[in-house]
Amino acid sequence: MSDEQDAPQESTVAPQEEASALQAIQEVISEVPDEILVDALVERIDKNPSTEIKQIIAEAHFSGPIPPPSMLAGYNEALPGSAERIIAMAESRQSHRQDMERIAIKASIGIDKRGQVFALIVSLAIILGSMGLIALGHEISGSVLAGTSLTGLAYIFITGREKKTDEGSEPPNKDDD
């Protein structure tokens, strides 16, 4: 062989002719059965082992109880009616979560009210006790009882509020879902 035969030759085909030739080739290939194309591809790969075949693995991730519409359609194709079941399950779970939050809020309000009532009862008892001591002539004892007890209650009331404020600013626990 001569060097002239090995050298690549420049194409003298016009772009329009090239486009129509490509279109004709695509039409011919589209008429060939897939099995023949696959066999030809496998044969060509076997002849040229340096050719790499790459496989793309895709991972889909979504957040929330309901998958994206394309995935829901896939579930529905695999098992008819499953998309409706998935949505109903998500709605049921959301309803349950809202009911539990409602119950927790009502319980918290009840605990707060009960604490306020007990604090009022204890405060009134201390005030009445200190007034009784003062009326019986024990002014110092009555003043000390009222001053220390009410100061302690005020401190507990204030620090209790601060603790609730700190607890409320914590991020929600993601394990609850």
Cβ atoms of 64 and 72 within 8 Å: the answer is: no
Is there a domain that residue 113 lies in? yes
Total domains in the chain come to 1
| Tokens representing residue 79 in the block | 């098992």
Is there a domain that residue 118 lies in? yes
Is there a domain that residue 141 lies in? yes
**pLDDT at residue 164 in the model:** 59
Is there a domain that residue 148 lies in? yes
Residue-by-residue pLDDT tens, the chain, 177 positions: 444 444 445 556 677 777 787 787 777 777 778 788 778 777 777 776 665 556 566 676 778 888 888 888 888 899 999 999 999 999 999 999 999 999 999 999 999 899 889 888 988 999 999 999 999 999 999 999 999 988 888 888 788 766 655 555 555 554 444
Is there a domain that residue 49 lies in? no
**pLDDT at residue 166 in the model:** 56
Cβ atoms of 153 and 122 within 8 Å: the answer is: yes
Is there a domain that residue 175 lies in? no
Is there a domain that residue 154 lies in? yes
DSSP annotation of 169 reads T
First-residue to last-residue Cα distance in the chain: 74
Cβ atoms of 71 and 62 within 8 Å: the answer is: yes
Containing structural domain, residue 137: 76-167
Is there a domain that residue 82 lies in? yes
